[in-house]
Chain A
Amino acid sequence: MHSFGYRLNGLLTFSLTILTIMCAIASLSDNLNTPSPSAEIQIININRFQKQPQGNDEVSLTMNISADLQSLFTWNTKQLFIFVAAEYETPKNSLNQVSLWDAIIIAKEHAKFWIHTSNKYRFVDQGNNLRGKEFNLTLHWHVMPKTGKMFADKIVLTGYSFPEEYR
């Protein structure tokens, strides 16, 4: 009953249980946070708007992205993964979401930023439906915790549209 083996076993079980409980509490504490993020995206220029040889439209654009996501950080936040996606509808597809740019924010200070960038990833449609089409730009954020539940949300910005003609 009091051998080394039993004591070690008891100690290990107890410490693992405590660790698990601590991780759960850390994760639950994230629910106490009430974030108030804000963002703005401006399309500065549509650099290229062409139809590829296979028949799909491709767009290259430059945007100004400014956001204040500092309120999303808690003590249990490891990083924030943010990305900007274009959302639009076409006759064949009820929803298209294409990620244009993303970033990883590790520190709270960097969560308030302004960036001038062209799309990191190619924006290619399934088809050639983009001329004159209206689309939304959404800024999504995914909070990756140090331990526990991950959660995500987004801000939808409407009112953008593609040019009527290729250029």
Chain B
Amino acid sequence: MGWIEENMKFTNVRKILSQAISLGMVVSLALMMWKGLTCITGSQSPVVVVLSGSMEPGFQRGDILFLYINKNPIRTGQIVVFNDGRDIPIVHRVIEVHEHEDTKEVDILTKGDANEDDDRMLYASNHDWLQQKYIMGRAVGFLPYVGWFTIIMSEKPILKYILVGGLGLLVLTSKE
């Protein structure tokens, strides 16, 4: 009866392989969608989570923002996400713009709606103004509360491991 057992082993290997391929396809699909979104919106991170309360009451911690960037110049009032070399990007509003006549470059000053002072203290030590190159995107849309999932995952990493571990276990023990 040896050839029957060998056949069953083959079927098991095929089943595992096909499950692995489905998993791989799901992951690639997610990656493609994310990269596609990056292309369409022009921003390196088209969706950001609001992490601080500096834009309250408009944006609370845990909201997500949809970003978009194009060649249009930055003007006052726009809500921008910038990163001039920090750990995490900041979402604040532009309150001053000076556009140079010769180079068409802009000097930008930002401030959080809920902050008393402007962001000059936060900028990297060698400049008083932000340049357009540090701006990752302009906020064009917003969804409340959805970002809490990401915040919880990053602030309590143990939950991340539990979730991934649990999902892995589910995949392994599922009957089909």
Q: A79–B59 Cα gap in the complex (Å)?
A: 10
Judging by beta carbons under 8 Å apart, are A144 and B142 in contact?
Answer: yes
- A67–chain B nearest beta-carbon distance, Å: 15
Q: Which of B5-13, B24-32, B37-45, B98-106 contacts A (4 or more CB under 8 A)?
A: B98-106
**How many interface residues does chain A have, given as a range?**
20 to 34
B171 within 8 A of partner (CB): no
Q: Are B77 and A83 in contact (CB under 8 A)?
A: yes
Given that A85-B77, A121-B118 are known contacts, is A96 also in contact with B99, CB under 8 Å in the complex?
yes
- A150 CA / B59 CA spacing, docked (Å): 12
Q: How far does the Cβ of A78 sit from chain B's closest Cβ, in whole Å?
A: 7
Within 8 Å by CB of A99, from B76, B79, B140, lies B76
A85 neighbours in B (Cβ, 8 Å): 76-77
What residues of A have a CB within 8 angstroms of the CB of B59 in the complex? 144
Chain B residues engaging chain A, CB cutoff 8 angstroms: 57-59, 75-79, 93, 95-101, 104, 107, 111, 113, 118, 139-144
Q: Please list the residues of chain A having a beta carbon within 8 angstroms of any beta carbon in chain B.
A: 23, 27, 78-79, 81, 83, 85, 91-99, 102, 104, 106, 121, 126, 140, 142, 144-150, 152, 154
